[in-house]
Amino acid sequence: MNDRVEDYLAQQVATRPDALAFEDNTGVRVTYAQLDASADEIGARLIELGVVAGDRVLMLAENCVAAVALLFGAWKIGATVVPFNARQTAGEVQKIIDHAEPSALVCTSGASADAAAHGVRFDAVEAVGVYGTLSFAPLEGGTSDDATDVAILLYTTGTTGTPKGVMLTHANVRFGGLTSANLRNMTPDDVIYGVLPLTHVFGMCSVMAAAVYIGAPVRLAARFDVAATYDALRDGVTLCSAVPQMHALLMAYSKKMGYARLESPSLRYVSSGAAPLDPAWKRQAEAFYGVALQNGYGMTETSAGTAATTNEIGDPDISVGPALPGVEVALDMDAPGAGDGVGEVITRGPQIMKGYYKNPEETAKVLSADGWLHTGDLGRIDEKGHLHIVGRSKELIIHGGFNVYPPEVEAALNDHPQVIQAAVIGHKVGADEKVLAFCQVADGCDVSVEDLRAFAAERLAGYKRPSQIILASSLPAAPTGKILKHKLLETFADQIG
């Protein structure tokens, strides 16, 4: 099979088998040769469970060497991996199982208590290897012969609140890896800090695939810990891609420790993604790191990347840069919200997804016959050809680097018997977006904010849970009864903390 992601690993095994490939915070370290052998071992175990080419394997994971080995093991036998963050609830996992119909479930139980708990629920059998610990369980899945070129199936609920599986092919992931490596001028001498989740397209393509393509070692972190990240960036790490909230926390931590700057002797590249940059904040971050802060734009449907900057330190540019090599970006000026030089961002090229799994209707809505993907985001292109994202036509909230979709949170809150209707919006606070929930309840009801927090906690992963819940007897609405979300902040301004 040509042009597959595991070819990148094969190239490293052929040329640098004893070089360090990945290490994680459980103490596991593997060379490329060990990673390759581990992948073969895991692939054989999947075959024993009945997995064949064209099947899907659900990976419930947090960042660790075992997750990387599982990815390559599944790919080597022709299976598609469905990466899903282990912090998701049992109900959220079941939704994915129902839609993706995987033939096996594998949990990174040695590196994540949440993953281990999921494994227990499915009576998964633990296996220990050089790669660490994984737990395996067979599921009643099916084979899809027309999807054998799909490397990963990443789920995003979108604004409809129903799961949509983004099919990214091996060619998509390969392109994301080599483009990211070239953009960063990466070499095997670099050391990458892998704190972005491998269950997210940014961590999968721009970190993991890029590292294996170029042969640079990755230090994987299961979760973002400000002290551990701060220490790592001062101890040999050369590249770090993160989201604005992480950068803000690092700067606050440094100030608390009495340091004005990071003062890293090795760090040479820092990027921020998943949220727009503020000019003053960008200057502050560059002064802290001592290197330029690069920005970029992408989404799950575009294998992470569409545009990115390569600016020098001090450049006031807060765009997301020009289109990546081989990628086209344009504006649809007929889209809703277009005007005055602003249009819907559309893009095409080797980074575009194959489509939404088992959902040709939704695929047709965003992917034209000639290959243009309609992103749903509004932007403008300046005289330099740099793209500026000016707003989202969708309601997507990006909280802590994770995508949060209001309909999913609203549906969870609406399940409470004393909630009449719920509305969820994002509220920009510093470098992050907070999830705000407004719940209409009947006069005289005895439900409390604490009750609804507990209710939501049973149904939603931590990063999806509202930062604040406001109870009200009514919400601003149009004559049709539709909630006017744009009036929520204004209406409840005195209650928003």
Task: Convert the pLDDT of each residue in 124-139 to its tens digit.
Answer: 999 999 999 999 999 9
Residue 379 pLDDT: 86
The amino acid present at 328, given as its one-letter code, is E
Architecture of domain 6-181: 3-Layer(aba) Sandwich (3.40)
Mean predicted confidence (pLDDT) in 370-379:
92
Q: Is the pLDDT at 480 greater than 60, yes or no? A: no
Residue 275 pLDDT: 63
Mean predicted confidence (pLDDT) in 16-35:
97
For residues 42 and 50, is the Cβ–Cβ distance under 8 A? no
Q: Is the pLDDT at 482 greater than 90, yes or no? A: no
Among 116-125, 143-152, 418-427, 432-441, which stretch is predicted with the lowest mean pLDDT?
Answer: 143-152
Residue 404 pLDDT: 78
The amino acid present at 366, given as its one-letter code, is V
Q: Is the pLDDT at 398 greater than 50, yes or no? A: yes
For residues 194 and 63, is the Cβ–Cβ distance under 8 A? yes
Element (H, E) at 193: strand 192-194
Q: Is the pLDDT at 478 greater than 70, yes or no? A: no
Residue 112 pLDDT: 96
How confident is residue 442, by pLDDT bands cut at 50, 70 and 90?
confident
Residue 274 pLDDT: 65
Residue 392 pLDDT: 61
Residue 435 pLDDT: 93
For CATH 3.40.50.12780, the residue range(s) in the chain are 224-392
Highest mean pLDDT: which range of 210-214, 433-437, 477-481: 210-214
Widest distance between CA atoms in the chain: 72
Q: Is the pLDDT at 301 greater than 90, yes or no? A: yes
DSSP assignment string, 19-75? SEEEEETTS-EEEHHHHHHHHHHHHHHHHHTT--TT-EEEEEE-SSHHHHHHHHHHH
For residues 251 and 288, is the Cβ–Cβ distance under 8 A? yes
For CATH 3.40.50.980, the residue range(s) in the chain are 6-181
Percent of the chain exceeding pLDDT 70 equals 94
Residue 75 pLDDT: 98
Among 83-87, 157-161, 249-253, 403-407, which stretch is predicted with the lowest mean pLDDT?
Answer: 157-161
Residue 113 pLDDT: 96
CATH class of 224-392: alpha beta
Q: Is the pLDDT at 325 greater than 70, yes or no? A: yes
Report the first-to-last Cα separation within the chain, whole angstroms: 55
Q: In whole angstroms, what is the distance from residue 169 CA to residue 181 CA?
A: 19
Among 406, 418, 463, 421, smallest CA distance to 444 is for: 418
Residue 393 pLDDT: 61
Mean predicted confidence (pLDDT) in 169-196:
97
Among 323, 290, 294, 325, smallest CA distance to 309 is for: 294
How confident is residue 159, by pLDDT bands cut at 50, 70 and 90?
very low
Angle at 102 between CA 101 and CA 107, to 5 degrees: 135
Task: Convert the pLDDT of each residue in 183-206 to its tens digit.
Answer: 999 999 999 999 999 999 999 999
Residue 145 pLDDT: 62
Residue 158 pLDDT: 46
Task: Convert the pLDDT of each residue in 327-374 to its tens digit.
Answer: 999 999 998 767 788 889 999 999 999 999 999 999 999 999 999 999
Give 3-state DSSP helix, strand, coil % of the chain, rounded to 5: 35, 25, 40
Mean predicted confidence (pLDDT) in 444-463:
92
Among 231-245, 314-328, 465-479, which stretch is predicted with the lowest mean pLDDT?
Answer: 465-479
Mean predicted confidence (pLDDT) in 385-401:
79
Architecture of domain 397-491: 2-Layer Sandwich (3.30)
Q: Is the pLDDT at 317 greater than 50, yes or no? A: yes
Q: Is the pLDDT at 162 greater than 90, yes or no? A: no
Query: In which order are the strands placed within the sheet that holds 269-272?
Result: 29-31, 20-24, 218-220, 192-194, 239-242, 269-272, 293-297, 307-308
What is the Cβ-side half-sphere exposure of residue 104, based on CA atoms within 13 angstroms? 29
Q: In whole angstroms, what is the distance from residue 122 CA to residue 108 CA?
A: 13
Q: Is the pLDDT at 69 greater than 90, yes or no? A: yes
How confident is residue 481, by pLDDT bands cut at 50, 70 and 90?
very low
